[in-house]
């Protein structure tokens, strides 16, 4: 039995895994505008964490032929998750975890950073041998080529953000699974460099629409046609940013493990590892065609693919294995999804509400993180139930430490 609803929007089609999960009207309207783009392949898939975004709806899967919408990929290119299972068990942890949290915060730059600031040290100076060649190739070849073609990319915070967490919903967590094994999980992307690339190509796409007199219901749906110079440059740039994001997560994970070892003593952290994007574009084969699949807040869930679906600061998270649903273009949700805007959350909830919601979690409990309080997100249990045909739960995680920027 299909666990999704089929929604016709003009000439477009949406398949939505949202049963039992609230979705605001504005998100449905946005999905409808995307689905009607003439180069969408078959339909747009809406995940249960779907909510209004810029250009494209967060929690959507957009397969296209012959074009890519840069704003659908967004500016946090390659944003995603990484998790590793350690050899530690809950019984080996101290009663208080404030020292563990402080060690992680001291080892991984987080929050808002600026050129030359203490948080902008980057990570290339002490790259481990395993990553040294990869980063050298990435920086010296790929980045130089991109900046030669598009000099504006080199302005502002760019590659100096490697090894930094950022702000918003980016986090580092220590978690316990269903048998009290300790996991480390983190969420971040390509940071300033991805933002720079995304903004640049969104502007170029809008310029092309004006040049070709293309009328769109939303200018953030401006696209780059395949075969044009800007399209090829974008594919190159977005691929570079996605690798930057993957390396960024790996380096932060290494720094986190090292910091925790200083507090807890020796342990291993390589028993099971997952590193996956949930904000990216890639070429895949679906329904007889090679298509560009944009996952805007969605994770690849092909047969056997391992993925990570985080909840919120006070809710469970999940390590999952994809079931290979063809209707969803081998995808699942990237998290619980926001139930309200950051502004609405700050107006509605108090520090006392947040303290109660994060009881038992060593984390920030101040006004600056109210917009990330668990109540600002959808019910992760409802989200998981709505996509039971997309993924199988492998591990259930509950955080005990959470670091936010």
Active site residues: 334
Secondary-structure breakdown of the chain: helix, strand, coil percentages, each rounded to the nearest 5: 40, 25, 35
CA dist., res. 17 & res. 2, Å (int)? 9
Tokens 């560009």 correspond to 292
Strand partners, 89: 181
SS3 297: coil
Structure tokens at 151: 């000099």
The residues that bridge with 6 in the sheet, in sequence order, are 15
Q: How many CB atoms lie within 10 A of CB 140?
A: 10
Please report, for residues 211, 230, 260, 383, the alpha-carbon distance to residue 100 in angstroms, rounded to integers and kept in the order given. Answer: 55, 46, 6, 31
The set of residues, in sequence order, having a beta carbon less than 8 Å from that of 12 and lying 6+ positions away, is 32, 34, 35, 36, 37, 40, 43, 44
CA 142 to chain centre: 22
Q: What three-state secondary structure class fits 293?
A: strand
Query: DSSP secondary-structure letter at 373?
Result: S
DSSP state at residue 161 = G
3-state secondary structure at position 344: helix
CA dist 196 and 31 (Å) reads 26
How far apart are the C-alpha atoms of 58 and 380, rounded to whole Å? 16
Eight-state DSSP code of residue 174: E
Backbone angles phi, psi at 328, to 5 degrees: -95, 10
Q: What angle do CA 246, 376, 98 make, to 5 degrees?
A: 65
């Amino acid at each position: 039995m299909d666990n999704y609803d089929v929604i016709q929007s003009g000439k477009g089609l949406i398949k939505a895994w949202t049963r039992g999960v609230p979705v605001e009207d504005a998100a449905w309207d946005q999905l409808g505008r995307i689905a009607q783009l003439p180069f969408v392949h078959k339909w747009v898939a809406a995940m249960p964490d779907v909510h209004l975004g810029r250009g494209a709806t967060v929690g959507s899967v957009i397969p296209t032929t012959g074009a890519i919408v840069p704003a659908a990929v967004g500016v946090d290119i390659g944003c995603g998750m990484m998790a590793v299972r350690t050899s530690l068990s809950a019984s080996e942890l101290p009663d208080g975890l404030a020292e563990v949290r402080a060690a992680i915060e001291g080892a991984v730059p987080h929050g808002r950073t600026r050129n030359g600031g203490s948080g902008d040290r980057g990570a290339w100076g002490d790259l481990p041998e395993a990553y040294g060649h990869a980063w050298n190739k990435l920086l010296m070849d790929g980045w130089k080529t991109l900046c030669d073609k598009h000099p504006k990319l080199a302005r502002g915070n760019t590659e100096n953000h490697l090894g930094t967490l950022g702000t918003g919903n980016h986090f580092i967590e220590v978690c316990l699974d269903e048998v009290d094994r300790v996991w480390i999980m983190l969420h971040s992307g390509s940071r300033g460099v991805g933002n720079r690339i995304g903004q640049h190509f969104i502007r170029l796409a809008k310029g092309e629409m004006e040049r070709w007199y293309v009328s769109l219901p939303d200018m953030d749906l401006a696209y780059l046609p395949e075969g044009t110079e800007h399209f090829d440059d974008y594919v190159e740039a977005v691929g570079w940013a996605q690798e930057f994001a993957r390396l960024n997560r790996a380096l932060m994970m290494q720094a986190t493990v090292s910091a925790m070892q200083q507090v807890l003593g020796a342990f291993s952290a390589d028993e099971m590892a997952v590193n996956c994007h949930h904000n990216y574009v890639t070429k895949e084969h679906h329904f007889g065609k090679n298509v560009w699949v944009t996952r805007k807040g969605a994770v690849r869930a092909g047969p056997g693919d391992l993925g990570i679906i985080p909840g919120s600061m006070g809710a469970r998270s999940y390590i999952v294995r994809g079931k290979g649903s063809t209707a969803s273009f081998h995808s699942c949700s990237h998290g619980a999804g926001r139930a309200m805007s950051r502004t609405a959350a700050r107006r509605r909830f108090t520090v006392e509400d947040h303290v109660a919601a994060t009881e038992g979690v060593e984390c920030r409990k101040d006004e600056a993180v109210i917009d990330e309080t668990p109540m600002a997100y959808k019910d992760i249990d409802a989200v998981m139930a709505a996509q039971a045909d997309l993924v199988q739960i492998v591990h259930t995680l509950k955080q005990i430490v959470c670091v936010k920027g």
